[in-house]
Amino acid sequence: MAADPSALFRTIDLTRVRAGGASRAHDLAATEEPLEVRLHGEPFSVIMRTPGHDRELAAGFLLAEQVIQRASDVRSIAHRRDLAGDLDTNVVNVMFSDSHAAELPRLLEGRRQTSTASSCGLCGRRSIESLALDVPPLASTWTIRAVTVARLPEELRRAQTAFDETGGLHAAGVFSPGGERLDASEDVGRHTAVDKIVGRALMAGTLPLSACVLMVSGRASFEIVQKAHIAGLPIVAAVSAPSTLAIELADRAGITLIGFVRGDSFNVYTHSARVLI
């Protein structure tokens, strides 16, 4: 599901320097804007993101933050309307179900007000201990062929329409064991693109994604693996390298972590039995 292309990038003026000369020119730059997430009208977090699929992003973000546990915890997610009745596309308000609304005071009191940058999915956490999740290891036993893993970057690249224009957007996609692309999203942040996909699955009632592979552009960081764990994704692949913390978490979480997927080669860092050579 593609976002409105006009929201993904904008035309900007620049000075282009070539061979010692300079000229004025136009180019396209990836859009980055703040999205304020409110709970029952109260500010909760600010996420730097590429506009589009904001409701899904909010849902995926709140799931990753363990603010909600299931789709039924949410009654509605909608953009705020200003005094004139116009939509404020940079603010979404989340209303909990009656049964989950009792958690609201605790969630708001315990939240450190902070801006979550597009490069950081954990900036709102209050301590190292809060990074740990009470989620059991994934036990999926299905396998994927090595040749299928090798094709994933190219298949993900086909979904990156805005990257063709700007070169400044990351992408995340979920694939079937046979390599079929099931969903994809672009954003200035890798983890934010993952939140949009997970949030869409949450709202569609298709979590856990236990029969899917997650493929991300760039590196595999701790927060990417953690979001995959919550979403039930047993295989995570990335174009670039994983961090040590991502490897350690993947090992504990029962996730097959794959990095440096380029050409016909890649590295499997954890739970390699799921990859058939």
Catalytic site positions: 120
Query: Can you say whether residue 185 is alpha, beta or left, with left for phi > 0 and alpha for psi between -120 and 50 degrees?
Result: beta
From the list 133, 134, 140, the residue with the least C-alpha distance to 271 is 140
Q: Are 191 and 224 a contacting pair, CB within 8 Å?
A: yes
For 36, half-sphere exposure in the C-beta direction (CA atoms, 13 angstrom radius) is: 12
Query: Can you say whether residue 232 is alpha, beta or left, with left for phi > 0 and alpha for psi between -120 and 50 degrees?
Result: left
Residue 74's DSSP bridge partners are 96
From the list 194, 200, 185, 207, the residue with the least C-alpha distance to 69 is 207
**Helix, strand, coil content of the chain in percent (nearest 5):** 30, 35, 35
Taking each helix axis as running N to C, give the angle between helix 54-64 and helix 190-204, from 0 to 180 degrees, rounded to the nearest 10. Answer: 100
Please give the Cα distance from 192 to 243 (Å, whole number). Answer: 18
